[in-house]
Structure 1
Amino acid sequence: MVPPGSSSVGGATTTASTSRHSATNNNNELLLAEPSLHHLQDHHINSRQSNDNWLPGSDPPIMMQVMNNQDDSDGDNVYIDPKHEKRLIQRLDKRLLGFAMLGNMVKALDNSNLGSAFISGMEEELHITGLQYNWMSVIFMAGYLVMQIPSNMLLSRLRPSIYLPSLELIWCVLTLAMACVQSVNGVYVIRVLLGLAEAGFYPGIVFLIGTWYSKRELGKRMALLTICGALGTGSSGVIQAVMLTTMDGKLGISGWRWMFVFDACITAVLAWFGRQYLPDYPHNTSWLSNKERDIAIRRMGDDTSNKLHDSGLLVVPATGPHSKHESTSASVRKLLRNKYLYLFVLGWASLQLSLGAAHVLGIMAKKLGYDAVTANLLTTPDMLITMTAGLCNGFISDRMRTRFWCIVCPALLAFFGLGMLSSFVQPFGLLYASYICTHVGLGSITSIMMTWASETISRDIGVRALAIATMNTSASIMWLWSPLVLWPVTDAPRYHRGFTTSACCVVFFLMIVSIIGYNIHFKDRRSPIKPKNSSNNLRRQSSEIKEPLMSQRSYEED
């Protein structure tokens, strides 16, 4: 039971302090009479070390105190127990991250199936000629582009545990239809509908992950998400090769059609998993306990101010069933005023345009004389290496607390590889090594770039959803025309125009990243908080935080 005059918070009991460390907060401001911010920073390290040994009934460590209350008579202290926080993160990893990783793998597998099927018999069976194969990709991107932003706008207002699995179910039916298609026109229709269904998944899942995880946790998890996409793309060639050697002709069905049947079955299982286990938002996820819900909401607030993070002050945003929900027009206006949006959109678009070079290896190999099975299998080592590099890069970016250098260094490697590919170096082994350098360099920075954007642009839920969707829409626009202009199948195997343009895009991308890095690391840090003993100065500094502190309710420890 909770002792009188105290409240149970995050699995620990905190007693209201009436000493000089207490404070009141009537206007959602952070008030500290004593000690000052300088005093808090002096105790920062000791407070971190003493968290686990903190006993109920005593004042919590100074760094963990938040003066947050609507009752003048009682300054409630907020404490997040690391054990309970770790338990919450583990549950999120099993449910949210598990669904995201599997979903991205299946999405990448489905997108890669078209290329695998093309070199495995679909070209001959459906009598695909000229640029018809490229038009299949363009039409898919047209549907993807149309639904991208509307889908994320819907997601920010609907329950993700229903919306995302519903998209997966539609996706499953359309993938199964691909196994039954009999003409090029039928492929066109199915591909545009697939684009509409798949458009909401990746930006939606990135948005949802950014809602639940803190900045220090995002990098590695976004890397895992991207790696599973690479695994799906790499698995496509292996699975198609297996289908060609074991299932081709079974029940009168071609091997490339069995691939789509296999993909549809996996998607159906994923849709069921998502409906059962995917979370919504911290304030309305049904399988969270009250304790976990409060911890999740406070964790969201922990990222709202880098300026106060090192002093240990937790700031809780106005998120919950009673919080004010901004209109779409207000979110759009706020987004358009954000100086980083345009830089990230340009950078992301150039990165995605250069990534076109990473999707033509199978067709290159076939046009150079390799059989269908070998051409499919050649894509697998490349994907496995890219997957490993992406995972390592994500962990390094979190460990070193840097996004900038974990983007610049791989991009330089990609530029080297694209230069070699543009020259079409021989023998094939050297060409293959250049292709791996290109894919490793570009593929290992996509997750870091998206994480950086999610951290930098806004913590506002509506603005962030629109920003992520806008970035992905810019990428879709690039893919709307680049398959026809840069990567027409008639240019295989050299693709000189495509590889040269990709190299130029990498140079432009590096310029954009440098501008973003300069603004973040220099301009935005010229006026750091200076420790002063005046409570008025501290009050003025804390007023920069946009989210008001949420009032804390009491409950008995489970």
Structure 2
Amino acid sequence: MQDDLHMSDTVWSAGISLFYVGYIVTQIPANVIIAKSQPRYWLPGCMLAWSALTICMPAAKTGWAFCVCRFLVGVTEGPFVPAVAMMTSSWYTKQESPVRMGIWHAGNTISQAISGLLAAGILTNMDYVANLRAWQWFLLIEGIASIVVGIAAFWFIPNFPNNTGKYFMTAEEAQMAEYKQIVSTGGLSEDDEGDFKSGIWAMLKDPFSHMFAVIHYGLIIAQSYKDFFPNIVATLGFSDLMTYLIQAPPPIIAFIVMMGVSWNSGRVLEFGYHITTWIVLTLIGCVVMITTLNVGARYFSMILLVTGPFVGLNLQLSWETTVVPRPRTKRAALIAYANCVSTTSHWYSPYFFLRKQEPYYQTGGGAIIAGCAVTVISVLFTKWYAVRKNKALKAAEDSAGEPEGWRFVH
């Protein structure tokens, strides 16, 4: 695609970056609006919009047309991930949240695996079929598949427990979902939600909001390899077909690890060490990737490269919605705010992975190591702050002679 559209490394990286510019624009306002409306219509609507734009992308004739399409896809996709995280945290308790977040977040890992397998079939067999290049077929097929899913989703997505309606579950089931959430959040009902402005303002005043934004920022830098993973795998020196095929195992392994770690995190209600352990392993894997050409060692390092950030991102989403459970508008603003702050890293991180640095990608590897370091430091600080807040709650309860109440999970 880069060759067909005569794109330099700079234009190609600009196209990748522009997606994230559009991605940031819509997140906070859209997520707070969705918190006050009906996500069963918003989520499929967003999906249909970005799928239609993806189908338009094969018509691009120049690098700048590619950049415009990328920007618009970002605008329409921006509300989606924050809204799904908000939805999940509205239906499940703090014990259930990590695994439930992991199930939908697994779409990221599994799609990476499926994309590699699709690439193996499409990019090696469909070049010039019907006078279209293989990359054009790739975008068309993925866009059409997403439209099918988006249309079906109108019938399979709920609203919130207090307003989802009988089309999705019985009144008794909805009441039980509400009751479980109230118990999990220390007696605060999801109905206790502020308006648009108050939710955003309450989020900005809470120190946890900025701590989780820094954690998310570090994790996304640690995951900056993602848009260049096929190029990184290609440095192993296999044929094109084999390169496409061996892209699949790392995200599949990451999915399995993420689900296991998420289950244990919810079981023991601990997030900080569950995140930092895997991020340290990613840091070690990155050091291996930029220092050796041994094929086995490099491939194992790529597995660690994929696994750590996926584990961290899933647990971070669950952690922040558990620590800031109410009101819904504040939680919605926090999720989108942390995602927006982290997304700014995509404005510059694509420029770190340049072809002239193959096979080591030293600059990109250095950025990943820095992201891992930021993540570990900010996670440990947030964990310390939560423990400190819990001690203050305990002291207040003891002085008032009250029983132990709600606590910040750390």
TM over 0.5: yes
- Out of 167, 189, 192, the position equivalent to 2:68 is 189
Deviations 1:297-356 (A, max 9, x none): 212211222xxxxxxxxx36262xxx6x52322222221221211111111101111111
- Partner of 1:193, secondary structure, is helix
Deviations 1:266-285 (A, max 9, x none): 21121122211211112221
CA drift at 1:541: 8.1
- Look up the match of 2:181: 300
Retained in 1: the 8 A contact 2:190–2:327?
no
CA drift at 1:531: 9.4
Q: Does 2:112 align with 1:233?
A: yes
Instruction: Indicate the larger mover: 462-471 or 507-516.
Output: 507-516
Retained in 2: the 8 A contact 1:365–1:493?
no
Higher helix share: 2
CA drift at 1:445: 1.8
Retained in 1: the 8 A contact 2:109–2:252?
yes
- Aligned residue pairs total 405
Q: Does 2:257 align with 1:374?
A: no
Q: What is the rounded CA distance, in whole Å, between the counterparts of 2:221 and 2:319 in structure 1?
A: 19
- Partner of 2:130, secondary structure, is helix
CA drift at 1:528: 2.9
- Look up the match of 1:308: none
Retained in 1: the 8 A contact 2:397–2:404?
no
CA drift at 1:193: 0.6
- Out of 425, 448, 451, the position equivalent to 2:318 is 451
Q: What is the rounded CA distance, in whole Å, between the counterparts of 1:460 and 1:329 in structure 2?
A: 12
Deviations 1:501-549 (A, max 9, x none): 32122122111111111222344135438999xxx955x988x99xxxx
**In structure 2, do the counterparts of structure 1 residues 269 and 215 end up closer, same or farther at CA, with 3 Å as the change threshold?**
same
CA drift at 1:458: 3.4
- Look up the match of 1:383: 251
Query: Residues 80-159 of structure 1: matches in 2 within 5 Å?
Result: 122-159=1-38
- Out of 290, 293, 296, the position equivalent to 2:171 is 290
- Look up the match of 1:426: 293
TM-score of the aligned structures, taking structure 1 as reference length: 0.68
- Partner of 2:26, secondary structure, is helix
Q: What is the rounded CA distance, in whole Å, between the counterparts of 2:194 and 2:257 in structure 1?
A: 40
- Out of 324, 328, 333, the position equivalent to 1:461 is 328
Q: What is the rounded CA distance, in whole Å, between the counterparts of 1:369 and 1:420 in structure 2?
A: 17
- Look up the match of 2:347: 480
Query: Residues 513-528 of structure 1: matches in 2 within 5 Å?
Result: 513-525=379-391, 527-528=393-394
Retained in 1: the 8 A contact 2:113–2:247?
yes
Deviations 1:363-419 (A, max 9, x none): 134456544323322311111111111111111212232212211211121121122
Q: What is the rounded CA distance, in whole Å, between the counterparts of 1:299 and 1:365 in structure 2?
A: 45
Q: Does 2:148 align with 1:269?
A: yes
- Look up the match of 2:370: 504
AA aligned to 1:173 is A
- Look up the match of 1:162: 41
Q: What is the rounded CA distance, in whole Å, between the counterparts of 1:240 and 1:450 in structure 2?
A: 30
**In structure 2, do the counterparts of structure 1 residues 456 and 479 end up closer, same or farther at CA, with 3 Å as the change threshold?**
same
Retained in 2: the 8 A contact 1:417–1:437?
yes
- Look up the match of 2:337: 470
- Look up the match of 1:346: 214
CA drift at 1:204: 0.8
**In structure 2, do the counterparts of structure 1 residues 146 and 266 end up closer, same or farther at CA, with 3 Å as the change threshold?**
same
Q: What is the rounded CA distance, in whole Å, between the counterparts of 1:528 and 1:365 in structure 2?
A: 51
- Partner of 1:261, secondary structure, is helix
**In structure 2, do the counterparts of structure 1 residues 361 and 316 end up closer, same or farther at CA, with 3 Å as the change threshold?**
closer
Instruction: Indicate the larger mover: 457-466 or 490-499.
Output: 490-499
Retained in 1: the 8 A contact 2:33–2:196?
no
- Look up the match of 2:359: 493
Q: What is the rounded CA distance, in whole Å, between the counterparts of 2:93 and 2:404 in structure 1?
A: 22
Q: What is the rounded CA distance, in whole Å, between the counterparts of 2:233 and 2:174 in structure 1?
A: 52
Q: What is the rounded CA distance, in whole Å, between the counterparts of 1:266 and 1:125 in structure 2?
A: 25
- Partner of 1:360, secondary structure, is helix
- Partner of 2:293, secondary structure, is coil
Retained in 2: the 8 A contact 1:283–1:293?
yes
**In structure 2, do the counterparts of structure 1 residues 434 and 499 end up closer, same or farther at CA, with 3 Å as the change threshold?**
same
TM-score of the aligned structures, taking structure 2 as reference length: 0.91
Retained in 1: the 8 A contact 2:190–2:326?
no
AA aligned to 1:259 is F
Q: What is the rounded CA distance, in whole Å, between the counterparts of 2:267 and 2:296 in structure 1?
A: 35
Largest Rg, 1 or 2: 1
Q: What is the rounded CA distance, in whole Å, between the counterparts of 1:530 and 1:188 in structure 2?
A: 55
Retained in 2: the 8 A contact 1:357–1:498?
yes
